[in-house]
């Protein structure tokens, strides 16, 4: 990911405001999305972070001529998982600390949402446009 965490957040805020969505699409991978969500959650209260992060992703996708790329269930579920992990840590963490202790959130292939959602749910048009609650029973460890 290009730039420092502060510059990334500023670029995301500019994108949300419709001023600058110049992050490269092909170099913006799942772990970069997680980092961006973490940065929003560090900067804003959770509901505001959710709104701003989602708006930023929609504008980013639209700016790159891929308006159907945004997936609300995946976006919200990951942001809420990130928020929970941040709260469970009991202290404010740096991105390096957070990412080191939450590697399962950084993996896209076989990602953590497969524990909570059926494949057909996540691939549905409804899940793409509306946040859906998890629909898979999670076995207690």
Q: Where are the domains of the chain?
A: 5-129
Whole-model pTM: value is 0.81
The predicted-structure confidence for 64-93, as pLDDT tens digits, reads as follows 888 888 999 999 999 999 999 999 999 999
Q: Is 16 within 8 Å of 43 (Cβ atoms)?
A: no
Q: Which of 5-14, 30-39, 68-77, 81-90 has the lowest mean pLDDT?
A: 5-14
């Amino acid at each position: 990911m290009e730039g420092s965490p502060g510059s990334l957040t500023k670029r995301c805020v500019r994108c949300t405001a419709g001023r600058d969505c110049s992050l490269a699409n092909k170099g913006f991978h799942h772990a970069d999305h997680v980092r961006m969500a973490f940065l929003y959650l560090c900067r804003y209260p959770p509901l505001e972070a959710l709104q701003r992060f989602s708006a930023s992703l929609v504008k980013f996708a639209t700016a790159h001529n891929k308006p159907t790329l945004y997936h609300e269930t995946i976006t919200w579920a990951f942001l809420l998982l990130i928020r929970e992990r941040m709260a469970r840590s009991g202290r404010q963490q740096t991105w390096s600390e957070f990412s080191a202790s939450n590697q399962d959130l950084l993996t896209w292939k076989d990602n953590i949402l497969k524990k909570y959602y059926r494949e057909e749910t996540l691939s549905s048009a409804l899940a793409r446009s509306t946040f859906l609650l998890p629909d898979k029973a999670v076995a207690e460890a």
